A and B are shown apart, each in its own frame.
Chain A
Amino acid sequence: MTAGAVRPVVMAPAAVLSRPGAPVEPADPAVVQLAADLVATMRVSPGCVGLAAPQVGVGVQVFCVDVTEHPKTATCHGTLVLCNARIVEASRWRPGREGCMSVPDLTGDVKRAGRVVVEAELPGTGEAVRLVTDAFEARALQHEVDHCAGKLFLDRVAGAHALHQRKTYL
């Protein structure tokens, strides 16, 4: 696997976070490098279980997810790196409170599907994959697919009182 470099994470209101990402050619060496960089950046970020290309300033449809260590995980596919992912089925909608590395001071209550089917391509080979998952991995995949579509959890927050301050820094 290509060695990944840690890239700086961009914060809202960066424009790249609000624009739909472009589809990619999975075999493109730049995409393979980006995929490796996303994983490397996710690994060095405490508590981070997923990272999408727009979050490192690249407006394309590539992201990684790894919920292996998370207590709310049920089904787990380990480290996933996906290109051009789309949610083709979603059910069992549940509320939950989420935060995002690109919106560090806020959290929001967001309804997500507790079961999803995702279709995507793998970087490098371009192999088409179809994943069925649930619980926390499903939530993480929806959050990252949203990033690739130019959406933040702020676009889905459940109500005016569903937005919360995460921490106030001195």
Chain B
Amino acid sequence: MTELAITVIGPDRPGIVAEVSAALAGVGANLSDSTMTRLRGHFTMTLICTGADAAEVSAALEPLEGVLATVRAVEPSPVASDGEPYLVSVHGADRLGIVAAVTREVAAAGGNITDLTTRLTGPLYVLVAEVDLPPGAAGNLSVRLEHAAGDLGVDVTLRRAEPDVL
């Protein structure tokens, strides 16, 4: 089944999620995975939906005031992950290129980023990423991240995020 990749961004205000999700439900768009969060003053929604037509979804979102939406049809893209889950935390003084430098090292180690958040608060820049690493890659990545962090003047930690199945 074709999926719709939808992004919605607008000034944060109470009711924005309710309005967008009502508009989607109104045209039969079923939310499967989504992430919605406030980035500075903007409320952002990234969603994968099924069951609706892209043009109908666009038309349903169009009247929402102050909201910028994109809708496109995509083929389902399942990804198998056999990697070991790790968490990367970076914090330090803000400067250009922190995300680029850190994620370059992760990619070079064969790591796959599955989730990433950055926050700038005053002079402090923080990056937290969930990374799937190939078995045995953590030691090498840890050394490379230390070097990159040294060059950037930030602190980095790489730690295992293995869940315990109960």
Residues on A close to B: CB < 8 A? Answer: 47-50, 70, 72, 96-101, 107, 136, 139-140, 143-144, 153, 160-161, 164-170
Q: Are B117 and A97 in contact (CB under 8 A)?
A: no
Query: Residue of A at shortest CB range from B128?
Result: A161
Q: Are B81 and A168 in contact (CB under 8 A)?
A: yes
Query: Residue of B at shortest CB range from A142?
Result: B166
5 A–B contacts from the bound complex (CB under 8 Å): A72-B164, A99-B163, A161-B115, A167-B80, A170-B78
Assembly CA distance A101 to B80 (angstroms)? 19
- Collect the chain B residues with CB atoms within 8 Å of residue A168's CB: 78-81
Q: Are B117 and A49 in contact (CB under 8 A)?
A: no
Q: Are A144 and B114 in contact (CB under 8 A)?
A: no
- Collect the chain B residues with CB atoms within 8 Å of residue A49's CB: 164-166
Query: How many A-B pairs fall under 8 Å by CB?
Result: 53
Residues on B close to A: CB < 8 A? Answer: 37, 78-81, 85, 114-115, 117, 130, 161-166
Query: Residue of A at shortest CB range from B165?
Result: A99
Given contacts A161-B117, A164-B115, A164-B130, are A144 and B166 in contact (CB under 8 A)?
A: yes
- Collect the chain A residues with CB atoms within 8 Å of residue B80's CB: 167-170
Among candidates B37, B81, B117, B165, residue contacting A100 with C-beta atoms closer than 8 Å: B165
Q: Are B166 and A140 in contact (CB under 8 A)?
A: yes
Given contacts A99-B166, A100-B166, A144-B166, are A169 and B78 in contact (CB under 8 A)?
A: yes
Assembly CA distance A164 to B80 (angstroms)? 15
Within the complex, what minimum Cβ distance (angstroms) separates B156 from chain A? 20
Given contacts A97-B162, A97-B163, A144-B166, 8 further A-B contacts (CB under 8 A): A48-B165, A50-B166, A70-B164, A98-B164, A164-B115, A165-B114, A167-B80, A168-B78
- Collect the chain A residues with CB atoms within 8 Å of residue B81's CB: 167-168
Within the complex, what minimum Cβ distance (angstroms) separates B83 from chain A? 10
Q: Are A99 and B79 in contact (CB under 8 A)?
A: no
Q: Are A139 and B166 in contact (CB under 8 A)?
A: yes
Query: Residue of B at shortest CB range from A167?
Result: B81
